[in-house]
């Protein structure tokens, strides 16, 4: 276990590494609503937005989350992996 962070930057890096481990532990599993909600909260993006309304930094966060989750876009995809992962998150979030 890592020692407790002493500065804000160390705290952010520690938190990011913990979140990355938690997210990568879910690789290969079907996305459920609670996981989608956690990812939206970690990214700081409200769910249900149109992908094209996101800023470039938010799109980068979506792409990094897709990499951590192990998501791969379909072979015949007509868009970026980030766009497909964001749509996948929204579908999982809206699932009853």
Confidence of residue 3 (pLDDT cuts 50, 70, 90): low
Please, how many CA atoms are within 13 Å of residue 20, restricted to the half-sphere of its CB?
10
Confidence of residue 83 (pLDDT cuts 50, 70, 90): very high
> Would you mind telling me the total number of residues written for the chain in this entry?
96
Whole-number percent of the chain with pLDDT over 70: 69
pLDDT greater at residue 25 or residue 92: 92
Query: What distances in angstroms separate CA 66 from CA 4, 70, 76, 95, one per listed residue?
Result: 28, 6, 18, 19
Q: Give residue 95's pLDDT.
A: 79
- How large is the average pLDDT for residues 52-60? 89
């Amino acid at each position: 276990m890592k020692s407790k962070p002493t500065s804000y930057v160390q705290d952010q890096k520690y938190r990011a590494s913990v979140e990355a481990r938690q997210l990568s532990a879910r690789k290969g599993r079907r996305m459920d609503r609670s996981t989608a909600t956690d990812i939206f909260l970690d990214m700081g993006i409200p769910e249900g937005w149109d992908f094209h309304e996101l800023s470039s930094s938010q799109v980068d966060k979506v792409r990094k989350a897709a990499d951590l989750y192990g998501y791969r876009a379909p072979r015949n995809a007509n868009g970026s992996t980030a766009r497909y992962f964001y749509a996948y998150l929204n579908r999982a979030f809206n699932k009853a």
